[in-house]
Structure 1
Amino acid sequence: MHKFSAALLAALVLAPCGVRAGASLLVDDAGTTADGHCQLESWLSARPGASGITAMPACAVGGLEYSVGASENLAASPGPTLYAGIKHTLVDMGEHTPGLALALGGDWHHGAGGFDAATANLAASVPLEPRLTLQVDLGWHAPHLAHGWLTGGVGLEYRAAAHWSWLAEAYVEGDGYRAAQGGLRLRLPNAVSMDLLGGGDRHGHWVTLGFNWSPGDDG
């Protein structure tokens, strides 16, 4: 979404923070899939000892977005990590007004013997100007059989042109973990977008290539 056994380190890069709907990003936004539509978010990340692939499909019904997903560490796989979550947009973002969404999720790791952690996240999207949007997250990460801690993140998306944006974000956890990444998002025809991101934390650096298909997204 998930830190710091080998399985949790892999989950950091290969899969969502908690079960977020932000694709290959660390920080979620307040948007959800349009009701009656589905989407697919997937990404391939490369870093020493934790390169892998993640797929996260989601569908929205009755105002709730339901997501499931799986990630696999291709470098040294201890088995897949599985994810499930729900997300609801509390307030839609307007041209000049912020949006707000709540997401709940959990993950299960085959190598760790079962349930790994539960997460809750409140995401706000704030339009700073027509081409610049601020994303702010505040959440809670609750590992199995351990005390939980706060999580938070800040992200910026600058829509430089009709078909591409610059992305930058920072993510922190109450256990002392810090991460940051940046890159660009390219919007292609037929509701397809691709992300190219580079980031790092105290364990090293990574490069991520994301592929997203969102037919219900009119943006």
Structure 2
Amino acid sequence: MHHCRVLVPLLLSVAVLPFDTHAAASLLVDDASITDAGQCQLESWVRHTRDGQEWTAVPACTVADTEWSLGLTRLPGQSAAQWAVGAKRVLVAPVQRRWGLAASASLGGTAHRPRSDDWNLTVPLTVALDAQDRVQLHLNLGWAHHAHVQGRTSGVGIDVALHRDWSLLAESARDADRQRSSQLGLRRVLWPGASVDLLAGQVHHQRTTRWLTLGFNLAAPP
């Protein structure tokens, strides 16, 4: 029952905010980890583009060895919020290994269309490149279906611990429409369970499609 007492306030807290969902985080590439059993987290971010600000919040809790998430996003110039529900499960935990493997799935749509038009499946692989886990490589391979396009998705990202509280983030991903996007930024740990991301990104070959993202990640105590 403890996880329910944590989950309900998180869901209510984002339900009253104006939000949109590209993915389950401010990052383009997912890793192969989930929150601890019975714990919750809230990932939220604002992305500034030439069209305005996109606001997103994604609360998630792990129940029955599966991380369940609900994402809500508000795009500039659109009255209907976008939503996405997701589930993620670790297939291979990095116990006595230098790598981990997970599988995730999500369904999405808008508040004006109760029926889900979008879905995707992704397999994230995370590999530690050094013995201290200071450098981690994340690889994604998946399939996405949208209203007018479907196809393979992929991504590669790297997380480098520069200092006790600072990390370098770099990644590049291809969507179902064969468009590739990349972003680069920093993560600052504020206190255990809380961090801030600052990322700059762009869709390749589209100089007008650039963004600056400020994200806040908060893990609820057990």
TM-score range, shorter chain: 0.7 to 0.9
Q: Once the 2 structures are TM-superposed, how far is the Cα of residue 189 of structure 1 from its aligned partner?
A: 1.2
1:181 CA drift (Å): 0.1
Partner of 2:103: 102
CA distance in structure 2 between the partners assigned to 1:166 and 1:155 by the alignment: 10
**Is the 1:31–1:101 Cα contact (8 Å) retained in structure 2?**
yes
Q: Is the 8 A contact 2:149 2:176 kept in 1?
A: no
Does the aligned pair in 2 maintain the 1:117–1:143 contact within 8 Å? yes
Q: For the aligned residues, what is the CA RMSD?
A: 1.9
Alignment of 1:1-219 (within 5 A): 15-17=21-23, 20=24, 23-73=25-75, 75-94=76-95, 96-110=97-111, 114-129=115-130, 130=132, 131-144=134-147, 146=148, 148-201=150-203, 202=206, 203-215=208-220
TM-score by length of 1: 0.84
Task: Tell me the alpha carbon deviations over residues 86-141 of structure 1, each in whole angstroms, 9 at most, x when there is no partner.
Answer: 00011112475210010010111135674220110000000011311000000110
TM-score (norm 2): 0.83
Q: Which runs of 5+ in 2 are unaligned?
A: 1-19
For 1:198 and 1:128, the matched residues in 2 are separated by 25
* Structure 2 residue matching 1:161: 3-state secondary structure: coil
Give secondary structure in 2 for the equivalent of 1:77. Answer: coil
CA positional deviation for 1:193: 0.6
Q: Is the 8 A contact 1:33 1:59 kept in 2?
A: yes
Q: Distance in 2 between matches of 1:186 and 1:141?
A: 31
Aligned-pair CA distance for 1:175: 2.4
Q: Deviations over 1:42-91 (max 9, x none)?
A: 00000011521100000101101100020002x31231001101000111
> Percent identical across equivalent pairs?
34
5+ residue gaps, structure 1, are: 1-13
Q: Distance in 2 between matches of 1:147 and 1:168?
A: 27
